[in-house]
């Protein structure tokens, strides 16, 4: 059987689909931009750097003052505090806690762990010769 040449035909392609305007609006509403997500630990490291640079108090003042007044009432009913005394107490309490967590973090690192556990805090206090 002999070969025959194909005749040239005009190709106009597919006709574009017509989209109903209501459907188009619904489709655009469902497509949302994804919010940026950081890898695990990135935000934690950023917070660590931020808090290490800062000098402001980390515990809010009023809840701390309420706690101090509540504890003081168990000792004596009619105690009053100057504002500067409460701020000094808060400064010292936060300095103590930061130091304790530093020591506990060293205990966790010594155990080849990254996660801080209650046993690390107990060991840090024991090494400091504190009561608990």
pLDDT of amino acid 99 = 96
Q: What is the pTM of this model?
A: 0.69
Pair 121, 100: CB distance under 8 Å: yes
pLDDT of amino acid 19 = 63
CATH class of the region 42-127 = mainly alpha
Pair 115, 108: CB distance under 8 Å: yes
Token pair 């980390």 is found at: 58
pLDDT of amino acid 53 = 94
Distances (CA, A) of 37 to 34, 46, 119: 9, 14, 33
| Residues in the chain where the model's pLDDT stays below 50 | none
Pair 86, 68: CB distance under 8 Å: yes
């Amino acid at each position: 059987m002999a070969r025959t040449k194909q005749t040239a035909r005009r190709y106009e392609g597919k006709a574009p689909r017509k989209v109903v305007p209501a459907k188009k609006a619904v489709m655009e509403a469902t497509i949302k931009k994804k919010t940026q997500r950081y890898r695990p630990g990135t935000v934690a490291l950023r917070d660590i750097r931020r808090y290490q640079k800062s000098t402001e108090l980390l515990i809010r003042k009023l809840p701390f003052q309420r706690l101090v007044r509540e504890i003081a009432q168990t000792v004596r009913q009619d105690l009053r505090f100057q504002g500067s005394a409460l701020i000094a107490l808060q400064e010292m309490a936060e300095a103590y806690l930061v130091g304790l967590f530093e020591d506990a973090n060293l205990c966790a690192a010594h155990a080849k762990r990254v996660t801080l556990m209650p046993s690390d805090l107990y060991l840090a206090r024991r090494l400091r010769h504190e009561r608990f």
